[in-house]
């Protein structure tokens, strides 16, 4: 019975505050829509891939597994070298110094899959053409500089990125943001309803009073419609009727 009463009160609160609930849900969604279409700047991601391998495979003293393990260790070292000032300075010069070393470090990231000899250079920019140019230039400069840095030529440009028609931005992720906004809006609306329900002190029926207060109901006061009262004629009107 108590559960049924709580459900009734919940429905009652939702019915009474449906305007506020609608506003709590719709305002964040509208704000996110305006932000994504008017203020959010689309950022595109382009990538270039490098393959790291041992250049000298003629030695038969080392097993193939040992060679692969050495290559994997080089991947971590090379990932750090790519983001070093020496490489980024060369990239900046190749791009006619349109971007400083600091700007390039903010627009570039390096990643590689676990136990993989492939390094992926990712560039981010509001223009997909510029992003591809930064990624490809970084891969080229690194492959040219690494022989003088490590005294070994074992870097191959595996793939360069290019601009495709109908490119989709990597950020912001509109669908994800909308789903998160819907979830947060519903959470705020439910919180609002349960706060109102917690501070609700009125009773919807006599049955609820008995359940909550554990007291018997002696009687109920019913609501009656007001009946128009009869007003007797004044003495003056009575005399006028008598004369007629």
As to burial, measured by CB atoms within 10 angstroms (0-12 exposed, 13-18 middle, 19+ buried), residue 91 is buried
CB 88 within 8 A of CB 101: yes
Q: Does the pTM of the predicted model rise above 0.85?
A: no
Domain edges within the chain: 7-38+173-213, 42-54+68-160
In whole angstroms, what is the distance from residue 98 CA to residue 123 CA? 15
pLDDT at 58 over 50: no
Biggest CA pair distance of the chain: 143
Confidence band for 13, pLDDT divided at 50, 70 and 90: confident
Helix axes of 2-16 and 174-198: crossing angle, nearest 10 degrees: 120
In whole angstroms, what is the distance from residue 175 CA to residue 153 CA? 44
CB 154 within 8 A of CB 142: no
Q: Check residue 228 and report its DSSP letter.
A: P
> What pLDDT, in 10s, does the model give residues 168-225?
899 888 899 999 999 999 999 999 988 887 776 665 566 655 665 666 666 666 666 5
In whole angstroms, what is the distance from residue 165 CA to residue 208 CA? 66
> What pLDDT, in 10s, does the model give residues 126-165?
999 999 999 999 999 999 999 999 888 888 899 999 988 8
To the question of domain 42-54+68-160 being in CATH 3.40.950.10, the answer is no
- Containing 161, the helix (H) or strand (E) segment is none
37: number of CA atoms within 13 Å, CB side? Answer: 7
Instruction: Please give the C-alpha separations between residue 156 and each of 15, 57, 83, in angstroms, as whole numbers.
Output: 67, 15, 18
Nearest CA to 72 among 118, 110, 138? 118
Helix axes of 2-16 and 206-213: crossing angle, nearest 10 degrees: 120
């Amino acid at each position: 019975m108590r559960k049924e009463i709580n459900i009734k009160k919940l429905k009652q609160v939702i019915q009474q505050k449906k305007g506020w609930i609608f506003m709590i849900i719709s305002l964040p969604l509208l704000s996110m829509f305006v932000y994504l279409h008017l203020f959010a700047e689309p950022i595109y991601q382009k990538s270039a891939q490098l393959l790291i391998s041992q250049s000298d495979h003629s030695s038969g003293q080392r097993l193939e597994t040992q060679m692969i393990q050495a290559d994997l260790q080089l991947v971590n070292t090379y990932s750090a070298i790519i983001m070093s000032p020496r490489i980024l300075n060369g990239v900046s010069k190749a791009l006619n110094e349109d971007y400083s070393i600091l700007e390039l470090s903010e627009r570039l990231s390096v990643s590689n899959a676990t136990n993989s000899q492939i390094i992926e250079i990712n560039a981010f920019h509001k223009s997909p053409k510029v992003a591809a140019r930064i990624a490809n230039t970084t891969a080229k400069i690194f492959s040219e500089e690494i022989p003088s840095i490590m005294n070994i030529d074992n870097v191959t440009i595996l793939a360069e990125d290019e601009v495709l028609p109908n490119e989709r931005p990597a950020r912001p992720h509109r669908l994800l943001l909308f789903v998160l906004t819907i979830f947060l809006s519903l959470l705020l609306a439910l919180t609002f309803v349960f706060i109102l329900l917690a501070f609700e002190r009125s009773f919807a029926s006599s049955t609820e009073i008995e359940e909550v207060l554990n007291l018997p109901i002696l009687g109920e006061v019913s609501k009656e419609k007001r009946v128009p009262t009869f007003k007797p004629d004044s003495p003056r009107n009575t005399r006028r009727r008598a004369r007629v």
